[in-house]
Amino acid sequence: MGLEHALGDTALTTTIDSAINWCRKNSLWPMPLGISCCGIEMMAFAMPRFDVARFGAEVFRFSPRQADLLIVAGTTTYKMATVVRKIYDQMPDPKWVIAMGACTSSGGMYRTYSVVQGIDQFLPVDVYVAGCPPRPDNLLHALLMIQEKIQRGESKSTPMTVAAERQEQQLLQIQGINNN
């Protein structure tokens, strides 16, 4: 059934990286951080009407240690910033971050003393989603953009594809040689 049927007795050639990235991008496990009204749209994004399961990211994990995509959905106050950062730090590499909504991306309408004017002041953000709140389809679009990034082997947090890791090691070695 399915793939074997279509392919028959053939072989596929690809690189390890693109195979791994293909797996990664279709099995993202999001860590939902619905810290205010945007969280409601994030829930809709997981529900059957918008159905994020079509893109393989339906396993919402409420433990950062089992997640690789952080969706920050809502107004982030200074007091909450420490918590957001702590959750982010607990996620294993490689990881990606979506800043959902105007508040998270830039402080939004809360131009005041208590709200961080954009979570990129303390977190590396991969995709920003505009809107107050963004519609769930906007968030789906952000997820698709994250998938494209993963396929290209990019992450703002860590450049952790096999090739990038190797490249980094090679660079280190070259630098080491030059230093000697």
Partner 1 sequence: MLTTVVERLKIQFSNSILEIREFRDETTIHIKKEDIVRVCAFLRDDESCLFNYCSDICGADAYSPENRFEVIYNLYSLSYKHRIRLKVFIDESDLHCPSVISVWPGANWPERETYDMLGIIFDGHNDLRRMYMPEEFEYFPLRKDFPMMGVPDSIPLPRK
Which is nearer to ligand SF4, 104 or 155 (by Cβ)? 104
Which is nearer to partner 1, 121 or 169 (by Cβ)? 121
Task: Name the phi and psi angles at 77, rounded to 5.
Answer: -85, 165
- Choosing from 18, 36, 138, 158, the residue that interacts with ligand SF4 (CB under 6 A) is 36
- Choosing from 17, 29, 37, 163, the residue that interacts with ligand SF4 (CB under 6 A) is 37
State how beta strands 127-129 and 96-100 pair.
parallel
For 8, 68, 81, 137, 144, the CA distances from 176, given in Å and listed in that order, are 49, 32, 38, 48, 39
CB distance 29 to 66 below 8 Å = yes
Binding to partner 1 by CB under 8 A, coded x per residue (else -) over 89-118, reads: ----------------------xxxx-x--
As a whole number of angstroms, the distance between CA 52 and CA 61 comes to 14
Site for ligand SF4, rule CB under 6 A: 36-38, 74-75, 101-103, 108, 132-133
Site for partner 1, rule CB under 8 A: 78-79, 81-82, 85-86, 111-114, 116, 121-124
